[in-house]
Amino acid sequence: MIQLCSNDDPPVSFTVPRKAVELSKTIKTMLEDLEGFDMEQTPIPLPNVDAPTLELIVKWVEQHQDDPPPVEKPRVEDDDSDDSDADDDQEPEVVIPEWDKKFLPTDDEQKNQLFKLLNAANYLEIKPLLDIGCKYVADKISGQTVEWVRDYLNMENDYTPEEEAKLKEEIAWAEGL
C-alpha cells in the first residue's frame, strides 16, 4: 500500500493499493526511481492536489485498477514523413463509461471541482481520466453560443471590437452556407 498526501494544511493522507496508484504515470515513475526505499512508510506529497480532489482520484484509480492498459499509438517523430492514412486533427474516439459518468463532478456548482480533477489528472499523468474529463467538457461546450462558452470557462473576451468583428466576418461563411 502507498500513502498519498494532499496539499492541505494539515495534509490529508490516503492509503491506496500500489497497483491502483500506478495508474498515475507520475507516481509510477517516482516509485520505480525510488526502488529500494521503503515507500510504504514514506507518504508521497502531492503539491497540486487538495483533499477533495485527491479523494476523487483515489476513488477513480481504485475503480479502474484492473482495467486493461490502454494501447498507446506509436509516436511519429517527423510529421512530414508520415504517409499513413491516419488523420491527426482529432483525438481518438472516447466513450465515457457509465460508472465514470456518475463519478465525474458534473453539476454546475461542482464545475470548479471538475477543473481541479482535470488539473490533478494532468499533473499525475492519468491519461484515461484526463481524456474522459476533457471529453465531458468538450461535449458540454458543443452547440453552445460563444457567450455561454466564455461564461462556462470563465474566460474574458480579450478581442478589441474591431478584431471581434473581423473574426466574425471570417467565419460567417460557416453560418451562411
Residue ranges that bind another protein, judged by CB under 8 A: 5, 7-9, 11, 34, 37, 42-48, 50-51, 79, 82-91, 94, 112, 115-116, 118-119, 122, 130-131, 134-135, 137-139, 141-146, 149-150, 152-159, 164, 167-168, 171, 173-175, 177
User: Residue 35: beta bridge partners?
Assistant: 37
User: Residue 37: beta bridge partners?
Assistant: 35
Q: What is the 3-state secondary structure (H, E, C) of 48-92?
A: CCCHHHHHHHHHHHHHHCCCCCCCCCCCCCCHHHCCCCCCCCCCC
Beta carbon nearer to another protein, 98 or 175? 175
Phi/psi of residue 154, each to 5°?
A: 55, 50
Beta carbon nearer to another protein, 63 or 137? 137
Smallest gap from residue 66 Cβ to another protein (A): 25
Beta carbon nearer to another protein, 66 or 73? 73
Smallest gap from residue 77 Cβ to another protein (A): 15
User: Cα–Cα–Cα angle for 54, 57, 62, nearest 5°?
Assistant: 125
